[in-house]
Amino acid sequence: MIAKDQNIALLTVGKAALKNADWTDYANYCFDREKGLRKEAFKHLDKFLKSTEAWTLDKKIDFVKFLFPFFENVQDADYGPFPQPLSNKLVKPTLTTWCDKEQIDNNPFRWFGKYYRSEEHLFKALEINPADDLARQTILSWWTYNIYYSVHHLPEGYIGEPLDDIKLAEKIKEQIQKLTTPELREHWSKELEEDLELVRNYIDWKTSGHPDFEKWGQENKKQTGYGLTRTYYYEE
């Protein structure tokens, strides 16, 4: 069962793909997948992928250029319209070859970096275009998640090393300052600070020698976790 947003994305991408006759089988994959006709959809996809074997690199790049803006701008377009065979047999090999030869366009590096999880490619995208906020925000989402993961079980326990998270936070702050708009900088600073507060509080508690982190938080009016504790201390 495909979710509603994925269905909308399948129709959106499929209709756009009809504008190129070479992509008709891919469009039909999207339409049949939206209808729930999975077996028929993958027959169309297999036919499409076989046809791309004879394409030039430029034709393959044109398809990738068509596809990825939908992934970045249409909710869930990187799910239903981006099945594993398409990724493995066409998109990833094309991006790999394209990145090997590209010197000017930052897009393939951002796309490869985000969808095949490569910080190296994301930083290459930023080297080519320092104003690529999409690439920078992908890095920020990964790095801030690492800190969130460390603190998300508090007050029961801390996963990881708090001082390492403090060092990572400094790297995150450097990247936040390189974002191109005040709104983005404010958003990411807030995201970071919510979890960084827990990191600092945990360090302060460990330094204090108090036996119970949650009780220490109550006594000092400090946040020690999510949920009710977060709500209580912010509303007080």
pTM (two decimals): 0.90
DSSP 102: -
Burial class (CB in 10 A: 0-12, 13-18, 19+), 1: exposed
Dig out the tokens for 141 from the structure. Answer: 């989402």
Q: From the DSSP assignment, how many helices (H) and strands (E) are in the chain?
A: 13, 0
- Residue 209, Cβ neighbours under 10 Å: how many? 7
pLDDT tens, the chain, 236 aa long: 467 888 999 999 999 999 999 999 999 999 999 999 999 999 999 999 999 999 999 999 999 999 999 999 999 999 999 999 999 999 999 999 999 999 999 999 999 999 999 999 999 999 999 999 999 999 999 999 999 999 999 999 999 999 999 999 999 999 999 999 999 999 999 999 999 999 999 999 999 999 999 999 999 999 999 864 443 333 33
Coil, strand or helix at 72 = helix
Residues 199 and 168: beta-carbon distance below 8 Å: no
Among 142, 157, 98, 108, which Cα is nearest to 128's? 108
